[in-house]
Amino acid sequence: MLSVADLFWVAWYAALAAGLVAGAALWLLHRWRGRSVAAQLAVVGAATVLATVSGIVVIALMMLINDHDLTVVLSVVTASGLVAMAVSILLGQRLVAANRVLVDAVRADGFSAPATRLPAELAELSRELEAAYARLADAHAREQALEASRRELVAWVSHDLRTPLAGLRAMAEALEDGVVDDEATVRRYHGRIRIEADRLTGMVDDLFELSRIHAGALRLSRERVGLADLVAEAVAGAEALARAKGVRLRGDVRAGLPVQVDAGEFGRALRNLVVNAIRHTPSDGTVEVRGEIDGGQALVTVADACGGIPEQDLPRVFDVAFRGEAARTPGGGAGLGLAIARGIVEAHAGEIGVANTGPGCRFVVRLPV
Ligand SMILES: Nc1ncnc2c1ncn2[C@@H]1O[C@H](COP(=O)(O)OP(=O)(O)OP(=O)(O)O)[C@@H](O)[C@H]1O
Ligand SMILES: [Mg+2]
């Protein structure tokens, strides 16, 4: 029977021997930290076997077991050690294989989580990779859409600028060469030249605004403004245009509703909506601008009598350079107004939308208050 003291010494020396083995294994693992998990698992397996064998050597040296028992124990330990090694090598290979599956999935075009069952950590990595790839693909798609719209815009604009410029040049040449000399025509040409110059100025101004919006360089200086003032100003600014077209323009807002906006920029967005509404409403029609508070949001609606926007155009009216069939004529708009309005509203953390209702369509701007 083993005494308590013997038991203590056995434990002490066995721990010492195992500690030495563990120290060596840790040192090796540290040196091999960049190597395959399979190799590191093999080190762990070998260290376990060696630690056990060193314990047995200790009790043999302390002469606590005889030669016969030593042989038996050593062979049992060797056999189970070999099995343990085999298991850790197998596990290592499975990890290596799982990793390879993941690497192959990453190398393929557009990552999708592999169907094979992965260890929890690798599965988590795979999920994260999938999410990161999705974000990347989204950003790429957005970038491409923006690039396409920018290209389209440049094409449209160069066309839109060239046509009036050619007209201006022809009129200027005619005046210069004295080809036209009757007073009425000369006056008409001068008037046209001024109108075209104004239109071009407006377009260049819109382009500049749009490029500031796209570059995220729109600096808003927000202030408390009454919703009623904003609506009244937009209506007042478009009154002359409405009168010239014979369109009734009504503003309707309950006073005393303040919002935090950049009055200049927001006013510009509203003006674009109101001018569009008047332009697309036949004479004798009505355009109504309303301001109200609805569910913690400030709501500005511009309703007109345009006869409705074609269903397939509705999702595209806010796109840069988009214009409806009727507007694609010389002298028509450049298709920038609504893109600018959306940019400004979104810079205010608001939303803008459109729907067909009643005799026409209704543009709705929502702003958090
Ligand atoms: N109130 C409206 N009623 C009917 N159609 C509209 C209305 N507002 C916009 N649209 C349609 O959406 C298109 C895009 O409008 P947007 O204001 O962006 O450009 P535009 O008015 O053609 O040109 P710009 O505003 O640059 O002078 C218009 O061409 C028109 O087809
Ligand atoms: Mg417009």
**pLDDT for res 65:** 81
Global pTM value: 0.67
Distance CA 66, CA 184 (A): 131
**pLDDT for res 329:** 60
Q: Is the CB of 335 under 6 A from ligand 1?
A: yes
Q: SS in 3 state form for 58-104?
A: HHHHCCCCCHHHHHHHHHHHHHHHHHHHHHHHHHHHHHHHHHHHHHH
**pLDDT for res 256:** 67
**pLDDT for res 235:** 94
Which portions of the chain are predicted below pLDDT 70? Answer: 1, 255-256, 326-331
Distance CA 262, CA 120 (A): 51
Angstrom distances, CA of residue 163 to CA of 27, 280, 343 = 79, 23, 27
Q: Is the CB of 59 under 6 A from ligand 1?
A: no
Ligand (nearest to CA of 306): 1
Specify the DSSP class assigned to residue 15: H
Closest ligand 1 atom, CA of 339?
Answer: 18
**pLDDT for res 18:** 92
Evaluate whether 347 touches 220 at the Cβ level (below 8 Å).
yes
**pLDDT for res 255:** 65
Q: Is the CB of 235 under 6 A from ligand 1?
A: no
Choose which residue among 149, 276, 352 to substitute to test ligand 1 binding: the one with the highest number of ligand atoms within 8 A of its C-beta: 276
Least Cα distance to 161 among 203, 211, 189 occurs for 203
**pLDDT for res 331:** 60
Evaluate whether 259 touches 220 at the Cβ level (below 8 Å).
no
Ligand (nearest to CA of 341): 1
Evaluate whether 302 touches 273 at the Cβ level (below 8 Å).
yes
Q: Is the CB of 340 under 6 A from ligand 1?
A: no
Half-sphere exposure (Cβ direction) of 178: Cα atoms closer than 13 Å: 0
Evaluate whether 367 touches 298 at the Cβ level (below 8 Å).
yes
Report the Cα 148 to chain-centroid distance in Å. Answer: 17
Least Cα distance to 303 among 351, 363, 236 occurs for 363
Specify the DSSP class assigned to residue 282: P
Distance CA 325, CA 308 (A): 13
Q: Is the CB of 153 under 6 A from ligand 1?
A: no
Report the Cα 36 to chain-centroid distance in Å. Answer: 37
